Amino acid sequence: MVGWVRGRRGLFPVPERAALEPLRQRWFLVVLGLGVVLRALAMLGYRPALWFPDSYTYVVTAMRPRPDLVRPAGYSMFLRLLEPLHSFALVAGVQHLLGLLTGVMVYLTARRLRAPAWAATLACVPVLLDAYQIELEHLLVSDTLFTTLVVAAVCLAVREPGSQRGRMAGACAIGLLVAAATLTRTVGLPLVALLGAWLLYRQRGRVAVAAVTLAAAALPILGYGVWFHATTGRIGLVGANGAFLYAKTMTFADCAVMRPSAELAVLCDPRPPASRPPSQEYLWGQDSPLVRLPGITFTRETDALAGEFASLAIRSQPLDYLGSVLTELGRSFTLDRPVYPDQEIYDHYLFPAATPEPPGRYPALVGASFARLYERGPIETEVVEPYAGWMRAYQGVAALPGAALLVILLLPPVVAGVRRARSAGSVPVVWALPWATAVTLLVMPAAVAEFDYRYVLPAVPLACLAAAFAASKPSFSNIPRNVRI
């Protein structure tokens, strides 16, 4: 059987199996198979799953559905969807499947836009084989779900436009995926505008397609905002934006320069910035001026006060703020993995040698009781040898260095610049969307909160996809229309 491929000089017959050629790539299947084996070892070695401090809050919201002041409820609803099966092992298993799916999407999208097989295979290696990625999938946190949603939206957005109905359906799907990502992690909100602008460019200025994406994204987000307002009486998706930005600015805020009012001055820290703890301590540490205020940290009044302080700090010290953002962003590109923000958080990203200590903070204790109801049994992580030991050993040697991520990010614009300098014609910019999305996901936490190792990993598959495009000369006009992914 044959199919037809549109080329520059007309239609050419090709074997129908060429449409399935990405699935027949030997090296990709080897990498995918290794990814499956490694995830199976993680599930055998750490049962039922690994816990992070945020995990318990997610479970509380899943068992008692209502908007949380600190985190949107998207991941909690994901947990709620799986709750009838009463198994955190199943949750971890689904997250591992999402990790594998992300790798497959990167590979197929790269191949469909004519990236070489070797480049497409290398692009999916970090998400499939990086030990920290696998460990993150085994943690009960939102990042794996968020990554899959964002990668799916980007892969849809770079596809060749089809019929009018197909374009509209694709635009709607992209909007819904970005909305789901935003309601999983609010850092996804800028991606709504980014993907809308990209579709406007892709569709040669057809506003209707971009408008469908924006509408499909806006409706779920606004609906969640209505729920949040009905529950808390506040406008937004979360109620801690001011507090987080305050914690961010405490890396540089100098009240002698800011000259705050007496009302804001209670949030000052007399210690010089070099002697202060990491930003997160200003949210959770008992010595934080914000935490010492009456009531809970994230009341409407406290959050508004913190936001006003942060705004004054940024206006008064714009260069210091920029330096703080660049410093936090720079932590994404180190050659090794220094301990940050503290040993406790850092250790959560390592496969442990023994069962971790139970939670000590009151919110986590409440969350643990809900988690036992969810599991209908014990939730403590059981470390099973030799599988756990194999994963610890693997994690010691198999990780993408931050410096390598920097090289991957620099590759697409550098290659595009060289090609433009050598060619009088236009240079395909298909790499721009995954690249811009990866950069946004890296910059946003550094700009509004602080660096965290788990915030870096969602950007990696997108950066690798952009690099795979840079290794080829993809365009939107030479893609076989009969190839499906």
From the list 205, 83, 194, 95, the residue with the least C-alpha distance to 144 is: 95
Q: Are residues 313 and 376 in the same domain?
A: no
Q: Are residues 199 and 270 in the same domain?
A: no
Provide the pLDDT for residue 81.
97
Which positions ≥6 away from 274 have C-beta within 8 Å?
none
* 11 occurs within a structural domain: no
* 9 occurs within a structural domain: no
Q: Return the amino acid letter for 219.
A: L
Task: Check if the beta carbon of residue 302 is closer than 8 Å to that of residue 241.
Answer: no
Decide: helix, strand or coil at residue 482: coil
**Given 311, 333, 355, which residue is the final one in a domain?**
333
> CA of 36: how far to CAs of 29, 127, 128, 149, 405, in Å?
10, 12, 8, 20, 23
Decide: helix, strand or coil at residue 398: coil
Q: Are residues 221 and 131 in the same domain?
A: yes
- Ramachandran sector of residue 86 (left: φ over 0; alpha: ψ -120 to 50; beta: rest): left
| Domain count of the fold of the chain | 2
> CA of 190: how far to CAs of 174, 179, 182, 187, 364, in Å?
14, 11, 9, 7, 31
Task: Check if the beta carbon of residue 469 is closer than 8 Å to that of residue 412.
Answer: yes
* 434 occurs within a structural domain: yes
Q: Are residues 320 and 183 in the same domain?
A: no
The dihedrals phi and psi of 45, each to the nearest 5 degrees, come to -85, -25
Q: Are residues 206 and 106 in the same domain?
A: yes
* 458 occurs within a structural domain: yes
CA separation for the pair 17, 20 (Å, rounded): 5
**Given 313, 333, 353, which residue is the final one in a domain?**
333
**Given 279, 304, 333, which residue is the final one in a domain?**
333
The dihedrals phi and psi of 240, each to the nearest 5 degrees, come to -130, 15
* 128 occurs within a structural domain: yes
Q: Give the CA-trace dihedral at 387, 391, 397, 401, to 10 degrees.
A: 170
Work out whether the CA dihedral 40, 42, 45, 48 comes out positive or negative.
negative
Query: Which range marks the domain in which residue 296 is found?
Result: 241-333
CA separation for the pair 88, 50 (Å, rounded): 9
Q: Are residues 279 and 361 in the same domain?
A: no
Q: Are residues 379 and 324 in the same domain?
A: no
* 438 occurs within a structural domain: yes
For the beta carbon of residue 23, count every other beta carbon within 10 angstroms. Answer: 14
Task: Check if the beta carbon of residue 101 is closer than 8 Å to that of residue 150.
Answer: no
* 77 occurs within a structural domain: yes
* 61 occurs within a structural domain: yes
Q: Are residues 269 and 402 in the same domain?
A: no
Q: Are residues 124 and 213 in the same domain?
A: yes
Task: Report residues of the chain scoring pLDDT below 70.
Answer: 1-24, 161-163, 205, 360-363, 424-428, 473-485
Burial class (CB in 10 A: 0-12, 13-18, 19+), 92: buried
Q: Are residues 231 and 252 in the same domain?
A: no
Q: Which residue has the tokens 């992300």?
A: 102
Task: Check if the beta carbon of residue 245 is closer than 8 Å to that of residue 306.
Answer: yes
CA separation for the pair 432, 17 (Å, rounded): 30
Q: pTM of the full predicted structure?
A: 0.91
Q: Are residues 66 and 193 in the same domain?
A: yes
Terminal-to-terminal C-alpha distance of the chain: 19
Q: Are residues 374 and 444 in the same domain?
A: yes
For the chain, helix, strand, coil in percent to 5 are 65, 5, 30
> CA of 467: how far to CAs of 432, 454, 462, in Å?
10, 21, 9
CA atoms lying within 13 Å on the CB side of residue 43: 18
Work out whether the CA dihedral 132, 192, 476, 167 comes out positive or negative.
positive
